């Protein structure tokens, strides 16, 4: 009898909990953009991250202004007004230039990449121009006319060596897709020979290895990565090997095992892995995997213990998301 009474009490207790759940159970999760990536939740996330902060420098402000002009995020009206208004003519010209850069990114998103690239090259403020040009090439290199792309590469080669090398990676992807392996090899060797510093060199190795894997050449991809590790033992860290493995998985259209992301030594490298997977999945025609990686990245930066720069992280997430929003 006592056992029946206990069971009855237990059922009553559970029923009571169901009808009067605590707020930590019934409230919606505080995290944003965990089930999808779209303008509204990205905007809420950005505005929450920058609210009340006075330590955001012009670099981040100007690029967030560009994303706002592109319609990829929506800054709060008071923030937009504060960030886009200045009594100094030089600063006002920079803000206008980044607004134009954002408008050109909108053109790209709407399917007018060649017009967007030509307009971006005409922006007089070089940082804003390069910001738009590099993002347009990164997202739509295969859709650009060869003349437009050639002009952009020539311009970058004169004024922005690092940007030029970054843009050439898009050119490498195109050569591999068309099967021009000899020219691709020559370009690969040029890029690796001109990479500045071990970190930049390895970032390039990852991009190149992924490009070969995306083109159906996984053997070449592994050889490129293995050679880089042999040439420079300082590159052969567990983090770097893990990132290469993740890149190869993503390039073959497979989402890497979740545990692979949890063994990086810091949050910034883990976020880099999510963004890389999203970018590769977009290029591989796998928008579902691209979205999943961005969702995972967004969850990461909203964790209380995240050690990276949240505003910079959301900027990079929004730029990658422009391909699937």
pLDDT one-digit tens code per residue, 139-154: 888 889 989 999 999 9
C-alpha 297, offset from chain centre: 9
Query: pTM value?
Result: 0.82
pLDDT band of 19, cuts 50, 70, 90 = very low
**What per-residue confidence (pLDDT) applies to 5?**
43
Q: Is the pLDDT of residue 297 over 90?
A: yes
pLDDT-derived band at 261, boundaries 50, 70, 90:
very high
Report the C-alpha gap between 57 and 36 in whole angstroms.
Answer: 29
Contacts by 131-136, CB closer than 8 A, 24 or more apart: 131/63, 131/66, 131/98, 131/101, 132/66, 132/100, 132/101, 132/102, 132/104, 132/105, 133/163, 133/167, 134/163, 134/166, 134/167, 135/105, 135/108, 135/319, 135/322, 136/104, 136/105, 136/108
Q: How confident is the model at residue 296 (pLDDT cuts 50, 70, 90)?
A: very high
pLDDT recorded at residue 25: 39
CA 209, 210, 211, 213 dihedral sign is: positive
DSSP H helical segments within the chain, as ranges?
A: 2-19, 23-26, 39-50, 58-69, 77-83, 89-109, 113-121, 126-140, 146-159, 161-177, 181-193, 197-214, 218-231, 238-251, 258-261, 267-283, 287-301, 310-321
Residue 264 in contact with residue 239, Cβ under 8 Å? Answer: yes
pLDDT at 236 over 70: yes
pLDDT (0 to 100) of residue 30: 55
CA–CA gap between residue 131 and residue 139 (Å, rounded): 13
- The contacts of residue 320 (CB under 8 Å, 6+ apart) are 275, 278, 279, 282, 294
Cα(197)–Cα(180) distance, rounded to whole angstroms? Answer: 29
Q: What is the pLDDT of residues 170-216, one digit of tens each?
A: 888 888 888 999 999 999 999 988 877 666 778 888 889 988 988 88
Q: How confident is the model at residue 282 (pLDDT cuts 50, 70, 90)?
A: confident
pLDDT confidence band for 123 (50 / 70 / 90): very high
Q: What is the pLDDT of residue 171?
A: 86
Q: Using the structure block, give the residue that is written with the tokens 């967007």.
A: 116
Residues 308-319 pLDDT 10s = 888 889 889 988
In the structure, what pLDDT confidence band is assigned to residue 321 with cuts at 50, 70 and 90? confident
| Least confident residue range of 1-15, 45-59, 225-239, 287-301 | 1-15
Q: Structure tokens of 247?
A: 């890149």
What is the Cα 97 distance to its own chain's centre? Answer: 22
Q: Is the pLDDT of residue 13 over 50?
A: no
What is the reported pLDDT for 12?
43
> Which pLDDT value is given to residue 141?
85
Closest C-alpha to 111, from 143, 138, 137: 143
What is d(CA 49, CA 84) in angstroms, rounded to the nearest whole number?
19
Instruction: Quickly count: other Cβ atoms within 10 Å of residue 225's Cβ.
Output: 27
The three-class DSSP label of residue 123 is coil
Kindly compute the dihedral angle of the four CA atoms of residues 13, 18, 19, 23, in this order, to the nearest 10 degrees.
110
pLDDT of 29 strictly over 60: no
- Residue 53: Cβ-neighbour burial (10 angstroms; 0-12, 13-18, 19+): exposed
Looking at the chain, the whole-number percentage of residues with pLDDT higher than 90 is 39
List phi, psi (to 5°) of 182: -65, -50
* pLDDT number for residue 17: 46
pLDDT class of 94 with cuts at 50, 70, 90: very high
To the nearest 10 degrees (0 to 180), the angle between helices 181-193 and 197-214 is 170
- Give residue 4's pLDDT: 42
What pLDDT was estimated at residue 199? 65
Average pLDDT value over all residues in the chain: 84
């Amino acid at each position: 009898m006592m056992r029946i009474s206990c069971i009855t009490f237990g059922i009553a207790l559970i029923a009571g909990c169901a009808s009067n759940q605590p707020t930590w159970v019934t409230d919606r999760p505080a995290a944003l953009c965990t089930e999808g990536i779209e303008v509204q939740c990205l905007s809420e996330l950005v505005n929450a991250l920058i609210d009340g902060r006075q330590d955001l420098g012009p670099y981040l402000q100007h690029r967030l202004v560009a994303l706002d002009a592109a319609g990829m995020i929506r800054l709060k009206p008071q923030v937009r007004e504060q960030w886009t208004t200045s009594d100094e003519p030089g600063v006002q010209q920079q803000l206008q230039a980044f607004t134009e850069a954002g408008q050109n990114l909108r053109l790209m998103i709407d399917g007018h990449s060649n017009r967007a690239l030509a307009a971006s090259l005409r922006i007089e403020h070089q940082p804003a121009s390069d910001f738009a040009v590099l993002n347009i090439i990164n997202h739509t290199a295969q859709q650009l006319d060869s003349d437009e792309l050639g002009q952009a590469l020539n311009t970058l080669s004169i004024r922005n060596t690092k940007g030029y090398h970054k843009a050439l990676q898009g050119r490498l992807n195109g050569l591999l897709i068309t099967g021009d392996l000899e020219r691709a090899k020559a370009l690969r060797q040029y890029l690796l020979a001109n990479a500045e510093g071990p970190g930049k060199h390895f970032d390039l190795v990852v991009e190149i290895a992924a490009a070969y894997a995306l083109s159906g050449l996984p053997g070449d991809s592994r050889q490129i990565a293995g050679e880089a590790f042999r040439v420079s033992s300082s590159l052969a860290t567990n983090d770097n090997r893990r990132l290469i493995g993740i890149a190869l998985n993503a390039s073959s259209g497979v989402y890497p095992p979740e545990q692979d992301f949890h063994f990086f030594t810091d949050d910034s490298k883990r976020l880099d892995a999510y963004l890389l997977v999203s970018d590769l999945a977009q290029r591989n025609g796998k928008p579902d995997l691209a979205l999943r990686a961005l969702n995972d990245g967004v969850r990461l930066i909203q964790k209380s213990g995240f050690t990276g720069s949240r505003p910079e992280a959301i900027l990079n997430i929004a730029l990658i998301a422009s391909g699937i929003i």
